[in-house]
Amino acid sequence: MDLQGASAIVTGGASGLGEATTRRLHGAGAAVTILDRNAEQGEALAKELGGQANFAPADVTKYEECQAGVAQAAANGPLRVAVNCAGMGIAVRTINRDNTPHDPAAFKFLIDINLIGTFNVMTLAASSMATNDPDPGGDRGVIINTASVAAFDGQIGQLAYSASKGAVVGMTLPAARDLSAVNIRVNTIAPGLMDTPLLAMLPEPARASLAASVLYPKRLGIPDEFANLAMAIIDNGYLNGETIRLDGGIRMQPK
C-alpha cells in the first residue's frame, strides 16, 4: 500500500508501541493523526515530526472523542490505516488474598479501555475507509489492533487484562469477514515483553529477569519491531484475519 497522500490514525500514538508506529507511518509518507490522552506528549511528537503529523486529544473510551479524532484524520486525506495501540493493564486476582472478589469496577475499567476503545476506533475508521476508492492493490484500508500474549497465556492477576486482550483477538476474524465486502483488512498483533515506558519503570534486575525468560533472543522486544510488523501487515495485501504473536517465542508461566 502506497501511503503517499493517504492518512493514518494511531491510538496511544504518543508513546511506546504507538509512538514507534507513528514515526514509521509518517516516514512512509502518511499524514498521521496521533490520538492520545496525553496532550503534552502528543503535541510534542506532532511538532517534532512536523509536516503532516497532527495531534487529536481523545480518550478512546469516549465515543464522541473518537469520532472527532477519526474525522480529523480523514480530513487530511483518505484514511487508509488505523492502528490501535491505546491500552493498559492492572494486576488483580479473581479473589484477593482475603477472599474478597475482584472489584467489578476495575474489571470494567480495563475492558472499556482495551476492548471498547479498540472497538470504537476500529468501527469508526472502517466506516471512513469504506468510502475510499480502492488503491492499486484493491485495498480500501487496513486496521491493526493490539492484543497481547496474555490473550493466550494469562498469568495470575491478569483476569481482566487477559479477558480484554482475548476479546480483541476474538474480534479479528469476524471483523475481517464483515469488512471483506468493502476491501478492508483487519489483523491483530499480540506482543510479548516489550521495552515500553511501563517496563522502563521496573528495576534493572526485574527487567533482566523478564528478558531472560524469552526463548530467543533473550531480551525485551523493541517498539520499532512492533512498528516493523505493522508496516509489513500494511504492505502484505494477502494478510487478513490473522493474529500474529510478536514475542521471541515466549510462553508465559503462571506467575
* 206 inside domain: no
Domain ranges, residue 43: 7-195+222-246
Q: Identify the active-site residue in 63, 161, 216, 238.
A: 161
pTM comes to 0.95
**Distance (Å, whole) CA 216 – CA 208:** 14
Q: What is the mean predicted confidence (pLDDT) over 218-244?
A: 97
* 252 inside domain: no
CATH code of the domain covering residue 101: 3.40.50.720
* 254 inside domain: no
* 88 inside domain: yes
Question: According to the model, what pLDDT value does residue 203 have?
Answer: 86
* 161 inside domain: yes
**Cβ-Cβ contacts under 8 Å for 36 (sequence gap 6 or more):** 11, 12, 13, 14, 15, 18, 42, 55, 56, 57, 58, 86
Q: Residue 105, Cβ neighbours under 10 Å: how many?
A: 7
Q: How confident is the model at residue 65 (pLDDT cuts 50, 70, 90)?
A: very high
* 216 inside domain: no
**Distance (Å, whole) CA 118 – CA 121:** 6
* 11 inside domain: yes
Domain count for the chain: 1
Catalytic residue flag (residue 161): yes
* 228 inside domain: yes
pLDDT at 89 over 80: yes
pLDDT at 251 over 80: yes
When the pLDDT of each residue in the chain is averaged and rounded to a whole number, the result is 96
